[in-house]
Amino acid sequence: MVGVTDRYDPWLDPGVFPDADDLSSVELAFVGGVRDGMAGCRTIPDTGREEDGRLLVSVSISVRDDANAEWLIAADYGVLFDGVMAEADRLSGMRFLAEPTPERRTFTGAPADVGALSGECLLRWVERPVVRREWLCSGQVVMNEWAFADTGEVLCFGGAFGSRRRAIRRRPADRVIEARTM
């Protein structure tokens, strides 16, 4: 793998990265590039294989729900690598969406270079700022939602559902707070 030394590398730990032993030399070079492209990121991606054999490297954006003292998975992004080309996009149920999103990126080239570009892409997505919007009633949070700060795209929500949620959202949020992400 690119840049591998004898030091402990969580990217190659079977407990963290279970497919490491099953990767070809081309895939190892790709994963090394992803690791380099995501340098400094707190998140280590998950890996898996599609039914057609392509390698899937995925990351989740998790947000802190302080009211329930838990982390929620707000969005998943992934890269599919076939040995020559990588496609990066938003995931749903750990699968690529049927239609490409405007965020979809395609990379070709040497495996390590494709991996580095893919890693940089995943890093940009994971590090996007997220805000939590809160709607209050009698000083209590009755509904909240987490959204990308730059686009306002809602990632997940809690509290009210259905018609009550639609009614509450007709008014602006009472508070908008930078969300803690992981």
pLDDT along the chain (182 residues), means of 10: 46 56 86 89 83 90 81 90 95 83 94 96 92 90 90 85 81 90 76
Kindly give the pairing relationship between strand 130-137 and strand 175-178: antiparallel
Considering the domain architecture, whether residues 73 and 22 belong to the same structural domain is answered as yes
Considering the domain architecture, whether residues 80 and 165 belong to the same structural domain is answered as no
Nearest in space to 118 (alpha carbons), one of 130, 132, 108, 129: 108
The answer to whether position 1 is within a domain reads no
Do 42 and 123 contact (CB within 8 A), yes or no?
no
Q: What is the pLDDT of residue 85?
A: 96
Q: What is the pLDDT of residue 181?
A: 79
The answer to whether position 139 is within a domain reads yes
Considering the domain architecture, whether residues 19 and 103 belong to the same structural domain is answered as yes
Do 88 and 107 contact (CB within 8 A), yes or no?
yes
Please give the structure tokens belonging to residue 61.
């954006």
Task: Indicate the DSSP class of residue 125.
Answer: H
Task: Indicate the DSSP class of residue 128.
Answer: S
Considering the domain architecture, whether residues 112 and 138 belong to the same structural domain is answered as no
In this structure, the number of other CB atoms found within 10 A of the CB of residue 98 comes to: 6
Considering the domain architecture, whether residues 77 and 56 belong to the same structural domain is answered as yes
Task: Indicate the DSSP class of residue 112.
Answer: H
Q: Which whole-number Å values give the CA distances from 50 to 32, 84, 119, 172, in the listed order? A: 20, 15, 19, 42
Burial of 113 (0-12, 13-18, 19+ CB in 10 A): middle
Q: What is the pLDDT of residue 11?
A: 58
Residue found by looking up tokens 């018609």 in the block: 163
Q: Give the domain extent around 174.
A: 130-178
Considering the domain architecture, whether residues 43 and 112 belong to the same structural domain is answered as yes
Q: What is the pLDDT of residue 12?
A: 54
State if pTM tops 0.85.
Answer: no
Q: What is the pLDDT of residue 148?
A: 92
SS3 138: coil
Q: What is the pLDDT of residue 106?
A: 96
Q: What is the pLDDT of residue 165?
A: 80
Considering the domain architecture, whether residues 117 and 165 belong to the same structural domain is answered as no
Q: What is the pLDDT of residue 4?
A: 41
Considering the domain architecture, whether residues 134 and 101 belong to the same structural domain is answered as no
